[in-house]
Amino acid sequence: MNNTTTLGSLDTRDSKILSLFLLLILTFIFGLLPFVVRTKYRGACLRFEIIIDLLNSFAGGVFLGTCLLHLLAEGREELELALKLYGIPTDFPLYETLAAVGLFIIVIIDFIAHSFLNQSSPKTDQTKKPRQHQGYTEYDSLLGTVEVSLGGQCSIPVEPDRTLHTGRVPSDSTNVSHAHDLLQLANIQSMTKVVLLLIALSFHTIFDGLAVGLQTSSANVWELMIAVSIHKSLVAFCLGLQLFKAYISKTGLAVSLLFFFSLMSPIGVAIGIAVTSGHIQNAPKLLTSSILQAIATGTFLYVTCFEILRECFVVRRSIWNILMAVVGFGAMAGVKFLDTD
């Protein structure tokens, strides 16, 4: 493997470095958008909700295409080549197994984080009428139904059978995502809970960036960069909504936490660059890269199937959401078709 493949005038290493900074900037900017909306564009919250909903569906299609057409197919070939270099031919689907390991790692982390949150969250009387207050923001799932009440200027309803206005998720819910933890943490003024949330999200985000950093061609770097940047920008927007609600009088702290989260994907990219560019023999480098990429593929599968597409196909059930997902998948299929590497 080498870093001489070009996309335009950039080689693979330069593309990774540029994507590192782009991920940092995009994530931070989108995380700050809720603060801008709250202070300057209060009348536009409905438009933002609609745009986020459609972009979420588009991101789901992009991730599905990335998983099926890029990560699974090419990652399997890379791992098989690495095993052949070690003289270990096998018909066992090792890459898919490692991808499942990556998926279960994220599932376990989410479960542990949610368990801690449930143990320390105060019980609320769900029969009481919910309170309305200025600056209220709520998300039903990672990028799903939203209610925003910005100084009484705008209100978008949340699905009443799924999330209460108190910010509590019903205990019998079986589809708890990252944003449910966000929702609970935003109502618990505790630095411990915020740190717990950031650890869970950051671990997930590092692997997304790692997948970008492990690519071996410039075209593949930018293909994966599209998927990661769309998703991370939307996640950052959701995170920003909750941070600026929980720390409405401590904007500096909210910005600091948001910047910390923004660093996670670039760190993952940097780790990938170090693995693929290290001065080590080709066989161990290829094996390490393919194993890490398989685990990262599992995190992509988790986000795609259990968060984004579930919201698009099960919760929302809108033809526009489905069409946007199809467009997203088609876009990645087109990129793959034009990829000559």
Mean pLDDT of each 10-residue bin along the chain, 341 residues long: 47 86 91 75 62 76 80 82 84 90 85 72 48 39 38 37 41 47 46 53 74 81 82 74 68 85 89 76 76 81 79 77 88 74 51
Residue 248: the pLDDT is 66
Q: What is the pLDDT of residues 280-306, one digit of tens each?
A: 666 787 788 788 878 878 877 887 788
Give per-residue burial for 94-117: e unless 16+ CB within 10 Å, then b.
bbbebbbebbebbeebbeebbebb
pTM of the model: 0.55
Copy the structure tokens of residue 54.
Answer: 């459609």
| pLDDT on residue 185 | 43
In this predicted model, what pLDDT tens digit does every residue of 186-212 receive, in sequence order? 444 445 555 555 555 676 678 778 878
> Residue ranges of the domains in the chain?
12-338
